Each structure stands twice: as structure tokens, then as C-alpha cells.
Amino acid sequence: MEYQKRGSSAYLFSIVLVAVLGGLLFGYDTAVISGAEKGLQAFFANAQDFTYTDGWHGFTSASALIGCIIGSALSGFLATNLGRKRTLVIAGVLFFVSALGSMEPEFMFFSHGEPSFSLLLMFNFYRIIGGIGVGLASAVCPMYISEITPSNIRGMMVSCNQFAIIFGQLVVYFVNFFILGDHIQPVVEEMGKGLAAINPAAQWTVTTGWRYMFGSEAIPAGMFALLISLVPESPRFLVSVGKDQRALEVLVKINGTDRGQFILNAIRETLVQKTEKLMTYGAMCIFIGIMLSVFQQAVGINAVLYYAPRIFGDMGMENPMVITVFMGVINLLFTLVAIFTVEKWGRKPLLISGSLGMALGAFGVAVTFGRAGLELVTAVSLLVYAASFMFSWGPICWVLIAEIFPNTIRGAAVAIAVAFQWIFNFIVSSTFVPMFNMHLTEGDDFGHWFTYGLYGIICLVAAVFVWRLVPETKGKTLEDMTKLWRWRAYVPGEKPHDGKTY
């Protein structure tokens, strides 16, 4: 058949399209809180058995990230022992259960609409379950895509996963916007005293709106769990468990007969030693993967994405959800920049230029936030900040994490790197509101400029890190990574035995 000679691009794209639904759910689940958090806050502020403080609200808004840490930590074990495909099926089921549970946390155990401390714990339990699904998908989706895609388009295909993440965030911004409709968000005051001053027109949002927002995720989650069960397993995993013939069938469908056999032989060579320890290729290999994850979160982007409506509202904008949706569109467009340039420009140039652009935007926010007459400059700075992330650290970090590790340690190494990513995501997300609201004297703006000034400095440090330590992987096969790290503990500019410069 013709596809056996040249491979089928349609077959490959159909597989990737299904796989990136995991990325869409990743974005959907992490961003749904942006529209629901005020209604959720007002709902639990009415609890009679405890005081729902800012601290509790910060924890509740970020509790899914605890699950993300757990899921990413488990991803290596599950992906190595169950396979990439089965792990993603598990993630889809967890997404589905979390969506329905978060919508109706009272199910079976509590009276509907009666907030309490026990109900808060149950709600957070369901959010953590969804977070485990996000953690699994965030590690395994790019890993699966990188392992099934030819090297010449691997960066583009893995970047599509980030596009799906941002698209998922944009979709949920629209969904939240339409669910809210003519209703308004509540205003909650005097949280420390347990008093909820809720405007009467916002009662529907408090009792029902946030439930619909969380429950809407059940539709894409169900689709993902069903469709991912229909795609083939990763050929590299199949070889690792001795199913070479099945691996060859997948490789031939994607790459053609001759190229498929060549790739199979290369995979066999790098999987001869199946029991290699994590540090077999040196500590620098693991360190670079971890720090890529740390910097992706430490630059502070998720504080903007999660709290976007609140930030724009604090700037005095009448309908912050509108500008939040606009920001989602900008994010999507700039993610396309990465998809169409990553194989031309390379990974490092995009990361460095994005870091500098983010620093510019962060410093712009630090200087102008809260200044009368400079609201537009602040908004533009936030958009520059977000857009610079979207063509650099957003997609390219996932590309590098998916491809930089040798085959024999990829599952465990990716799990460690992604776990650090979610740990720092939790740290940034849970500290943003307290830092942003800090004051040295009553009424000053210390927290505003300190928070974004800190993020700007971290962006500059990230640029230096990439310039000095991160290897360029454009055009390299996954098997080339074994040669790179086996050559020696990584030294920038060295040439391994194959003569390629990394």
C-alpha cells in the first residue's frame, strides 16, 4: 500500500489530534477557576461552622495543583508500567469524575446548597482528583506525542499540545462568560469576620453559576476518555515491553516501511539496557529538565491566567471577563508563532527572546499598576507579558522536557521534571494574592510593584539559564539524546561521537 512506502500524515495527525485533547482538558481544568472563584468564595463565605478566610480561598483556588503534583509524580511509574495510552485513559476518567464532583460536591453525603467545612473538604477532594488527571496528562501527552512523531516535525507537534492547553483556557473563558450571561459576579467583603456582603443580583452566580462552570468540563472529558482508547500505543513503549512487531506496524503507518524499520532498530539500540538508573547520564541532565519546569512557573504566568478577571477588575474595568477573553485570543495567536517557528528558529532562541519580552511586560506592570491614567499601559504590559510566554516558555518548555531525556529514563525523568513544575505552579498561584496585597504602609502599592518586579527579575535569570546551559535539540532524534548525554556530563558546545553539535 502507498502509505507503507511513505507513511500517512493523516494517520499521524489524527493520533496527535486525539492526544492533544488531553492538553485541552489541562487548560480547561486549570482555567475554569478564573470564572468560578468569586461565586465559590461567596458560597462558602456563608458557612456557619467556620470562617472562610482569604487563606482558605487561596487554598481552594489552588487545590487542584496538589493533585497535579501527585499526578505528575505518578506519571512516570504509570507510563512505564501501564503504557502511555492507558495512563491517558485514566487521566480522562479522572477529569470526568472531577467535573461532576466539583459541580455537585454534596452528592450522596450532604444537603444541597448548605455550605460547611466538610463540604469544602469534599469540593477540594474532587478538585484534587481532577488535578491528578491534569498532572498525568501534562507529563504523558507531550511524551506520547514526541515518541510517536518524526523528528523533523516533533517540535511542531508537541507545541500543538500547548496550543490545545491555551485553546482549552480560551474555551473555558468563553464558556464561563456565556454561563454568567446577564448575571453578575458577587462582591464578598469582611471575609475575616465571616460576613458575606453579597449583592442580591449575584445570588444565581453564588448558588448555581459556579456549578455549571465546573460541570461543563464533563463533556470534553468524556470525549477524551473515549477517543484516547482508540489510538495506538507509543512504539517506544511497545519495544520496551517486547512488542516489536506492533511497534513496527505503528512506525510503518506513520513513517513508511524503510524509515519505520530504521527507527525501530534505533529504538532497540537505546533500549538494550532497560534498567538504567536515573543518574546514568549525569546529574546535569536531570537538573536542566527540572530547572526548565521551575522557570516556566516561577516567571509567574499562571498567577495572571488564574486571576485574570480579578486583576482586570481591580484595574477598574467594567467587564473584566471581556478583556480576559481577549487575552485568551492573544495567547492563542502567539502560541501559533511557536508552532510555526520552533523547527525554523530552534528552541533556545524562542526561550531567550520570550524571557526578555516577559521581563519587559512584568516590569511595565510593576511600574504602572494602580497609577491613575496608566490603566491602558498596564493592560498592554500584561498582554505583552502573556504573549511573550505563549510563544516561548509555554510550548517550548514542554517540547524540551518531552525530548531532552534518553529513552531508558524518559518516563521517570519527565515525571520528576513535571512534578517540580506543578510544585512551583502551586507556590506561585497560592502566594500571588498575599504578595500582591502586601503593604509597607497603609494604602501603598508595595505589593503590586514587588510582585511583578520579582517576576521580571526571574525572567532575566531564565534567559541566562537557557543561554548558558540548555542544549539545542532542533532536528535531533530522541535516540540522539542518548548519545548526547552518554558522551559526558553535559558541556555546552561539545561534539559527541556522531559529529552533531548540541
pLDDT of res. 224: 93
Q: Which tens digits make up the pLDDT trace of 399-449?
A: 888 888 887 787 788 888 888 988 888 788 778 777 877 777 776 677 778
- The span from the CA of 5 to the CA of 253, in Å, is 9
Q: Which tens digits make up the pLDDT trace of 127-177?
A: 999 999 989 998 899 889 988 888 778 878 888 887 888 888 888 888 888
CB 349 within 8 A of CB 155: no
Amino acid at 153: I
**Does the pLDDT of residue 207 top 50, yes or no?**
yes
Cell 483556557 sits on residue: 169
Residue 359 to residues 381, 433, 455, Cα–Cα distance (Å): 10, 20, 7
Q: Which tens digits make up the pLDDT trace of 459-499?
A: 999 999 999 888 888 877 767 777 777 764 444 445 555 55
Cell 496608566 sits on residue: 374
Split at pLDDT 50, 70, 90, the class of 357 is very high
Residue 397 to residues 323, 392, 470, Cα–Cα distance (Å): 27, 8, 11
Mean of pLDDT values over 350-366: 92
Task: Classify domain 276-502 at the CATH superfamily level.
Answer: MFS general substrate transporter like domains (1.20.1250.20)
In terms of Cβ atoms closer than 10 Å to its own Cβ (0-12, 13-18, 19+), residue 75 is buried
pLDDT of res. 227: 94
| Residue 108: strand, helix, or coil | coil
Split at pLDDT 50, 70, 90, the class of 242 is confident
Of 130, 7, 122, 1, nearest in space to 65 by CA: 130
User: 471 phi and psi, to 5 degrees?
Assistant: -75, 150
pLDDT of res. 191: 47
**Does the pLDDT of residue 272 top 60, yes or no?**
no
CB 78 within 8 A of CB 90: yes
In percent, the amount of the chain with pLDDT more than 70 equals 86
**Does the pLDDT of residue 500 top 70, yes or no?**
no
Mean of pLDDT values over 15-36: 86
Cell 538508573 sits on residue: 277
Contacts of residue 481, defined as CB under 8 A and 6 or more positions apart, other chains included, come to 403, 404, 405, 406, 407, 473
Class of domain 8-231: mainly alpha
Split at pLDDT 50, 70, 90, the class of 3 is very low
- The span from the CA of 372 to the CA of 253, in Å, is 61
pLDDT of res. 274: 54
User: 188 phi and psi, to 5 degrees?
Assistant: -110, 125
pLDDT of res. 474: 81
Q: Which tens digits make up the pLDDT trace of 286-299?
A: 899 999 999 999 99
Residues of the chain with CATH 1.20.1250.20: 8-231, 276-502
pLDDT of res. 491: 45
pLDDT of res. 189: 57
CB 173 within 8 A of CB 325: yes
Of 18-32, 298-312, 453-467, the one with minimum mean pLDDT is 298-312
Contacts of residue 275, defined as CB under 8 A and 6 or more positions apart, other chains included, come to none
